[in-house]
């Protein structure tokens, strides 16, 4: 399987009209968002590498935004040597998360911080000209401020089941920003928006915070240059980055591991929020994801995911082998995606 059957393609109405009338070129793309999702994001690294080599040099300006592993991928893409940075992320994420049987949240947090440091090559921060980077994290507030236990997060989950606005009483959105101007300049929902410079003082901490999963991991606290408090995984608020992408005058190209966008991590447990349709913010978005039939052919019939840490336990070589095999298989997905991008066929694109 190496053709379009590898792909699940979706587009908003304006994006689909553009594909039919003009096709697609690097100059059309204004933004690349990147979802949270832990190890699932590894499937997209081969495509990231091809975009870094073949498309991004032909983009005069590009806005990158991500949460959790998506933030780490975008922080790598934003650098002057993105392929090397993506390689560091790949190696550190796959090979360096070798936890003992029952690691403490502090031990997981230390490992996450070490992976973030690898993405930045030891803390160095350099953003390419014309590139905007937003690293998204969630800051605890209200009933969650200063609380880290299961009970506090259970109450936050219950609030989210009522509405995302209720969850916003517990968490606020923070965007650590570097580079060119971003469209994420003001609040667009109840979570608000705190903008903080992403710089040498806080870059490692901000990246680590964006991937700090509650209960499993300690938060990152009191980040330099940011409001005080505990900072958690950005995917709690922005799991698949359902953001006001329609502010862009061009196409938002969204490499993803599923062909739909779930707003927050807690929403994936709520069927009525898992895959919203026809949202106005998706009007100019093109999603390119691996198809279900492609995923079925991966080791275990699935993408790498967090359950693998429990499935393989302390058999780290077996987990690493399975993940490396999956990433190698995703080279075929990346090749098919690039062929479609160079000559897009709108007839195989579904509505987002």
Our count of domains for the chain comes to 1
247-288 pLDDT tens trace: 778 999 999 999 999 999 999 999 888 877 778 899 999 999
Helices (H) and strands (E) in the chain, counts: 12, 11
Compute the mean pLDDT over every residue in the chain, rounded to the nearest whole number.
94
Look at residue 23 in the predicted model and tell me its pLDDT.
Answer: 96
**Structure confidence at residue 1 (pLDDT):** 61
- Which tens digits make up the pLDDT trace of 222-246? 999 999 999 999 999 999 999 997 6
Dist. CA 230–CA 171, nearest whole Å: 10
For position 102, what pLDDT does the model report? 92
Name the residue among 327, 322, 245, 324 with its Cα closest to residue 287.
245
- Quote the tokens at residue 91: 């190696």
- Let me know if residue 195 belongs to a domain: yes
Q: What is the DSSP letter of 143?
A: G
For residue 325, the model assigns a pLDDT of 96
pLDDT at residue 2, as a whole number = 65
Alpha carbon 70 to its chain centroid, in Å, reads 2
Say what angle helices 69-77 and 105-119 make with each other, to 10 degrees: 20
Confidence (pTM): 0.96
Helix boundaries (H) for the chain: 13-22, 45-50, 69-77, 82-95, 105-119, 150-162, 164-167, 203-210, 271-274, 292-296, 307-312, 316-342
Residue 352 in any domain: the answer is no
Give 107-128 pLDDT, tens digit per residue: 999 999 999 999 998 767 889 9
Q: Which tokens belong to 154?
A: 């259970």
Mean pLDDT in residue range 323-343: 97
pLDDT of 254 reads: 98
Please compute the mean of the pLDDT values over residues 9-15 and round it to a whole number: 95
pLDDT value of residue 274: 81
Residue 102 lies in a domain: yes
Alpha carbons 193 and 254: distance in angstroms, whole number: 22
Q: Are 10 and 277 in contact (CB under 8 A)?
A: no
Q: Which domain holds residue 108?
A: 4-346
What does the pLDDT look like over 277-322, one tens digit per residue?
778 899 999 999 999 999 999 999 999 999 999 999 999 999 999 9
Distances (CA, A) of 101 to 26, 107, 194: 46, 12, 37
Using an 8 Å Cβ cutoff, are 212 and 175 in contact? no
Residue 157 located in a structural domain: yes
Q: For residue 83, give the DSSP letter.
A: H
Q: What's the confidence (pLDDT) of residue 125?
A: 80
Answer whether residue 297 is part of any domain: yes
119 assigned to some structural domain: yes
Which three-class secondary structure string do you get for 262-319? CCCHHHHHCHHHHCCCCCHHHCCEEEEEECHHHHHCCHHHCCCCCHHHHHHCCCHHHH
């Amino acid at each position: 399987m190496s053709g379009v059957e590898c792909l699940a393609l979706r587009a908003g109405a304006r994006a689909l009209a553009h594909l039919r009338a003009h096709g697609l070129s690097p100059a059309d793309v204004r933004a690349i968002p990147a979802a949270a999702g832990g190890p699932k994001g590894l499937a997209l690294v081969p495509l990231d590498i091809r975009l870094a080599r073949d498309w991004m040099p032909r983009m005069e300006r590009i806005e990158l935004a991500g949460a959790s592993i998506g933030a780490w991928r975008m922080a790598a893409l934003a650098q002057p040597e993105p392929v090397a940075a993506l390689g560091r992320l790949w190696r550190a994420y796959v090979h360096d998360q070798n936890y003992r049987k029952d690691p403490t949240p502090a031990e997981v947090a230390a490992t996450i911080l070490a992976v973030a440091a690898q993405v930045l090559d030891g803390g160095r921060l350099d953003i390419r000209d014309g590139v905007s980077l937003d690293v998204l994290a969630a800051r605890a507030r209200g009933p969650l401020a200063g609380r880290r236990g299961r009970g506090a997060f259970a109450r936050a989950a219950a609030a989210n089941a009522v509405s995302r606005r209720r969850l916003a009483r517990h968490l606020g959105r923070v965007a650590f920003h570097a580079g060119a101007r971003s469209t994420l300049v003001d609040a667009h929902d109840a979570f608000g928006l705190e903008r903080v410079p992403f710089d040498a003082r806080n870059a490692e901490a901000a990246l680590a915070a964006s991937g700090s999963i509650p209960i499993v991991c300690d938060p990152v606290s009191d980040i330099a240059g940011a409001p005080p408090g505990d900072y958690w995984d950005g995917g709690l608020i922005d799991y698949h980055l359902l953001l006001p992408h329609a502010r862009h005058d061009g196409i938002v190209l969204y490499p993803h591991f599923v062909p739909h966008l779930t707003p927050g991590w807690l929403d994936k447990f709520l069927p009525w929020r898992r895959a919203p349709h026809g949202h106005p913010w998706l009007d100019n978005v093109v999603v390119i994801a691996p198809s279900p039939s492609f995923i079925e052919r991966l080791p275990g019939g699935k993408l790498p995911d967090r359950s693998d840490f429990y499935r393989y336990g302390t058999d780290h070589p077996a987990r690493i082998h399975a993940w490396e095999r999956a990433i190698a298989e995703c080279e075929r997905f990346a090749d098919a995606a690039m062929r479609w991008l160079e000559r897009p066929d709108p007839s195989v694109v579904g509505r987002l």
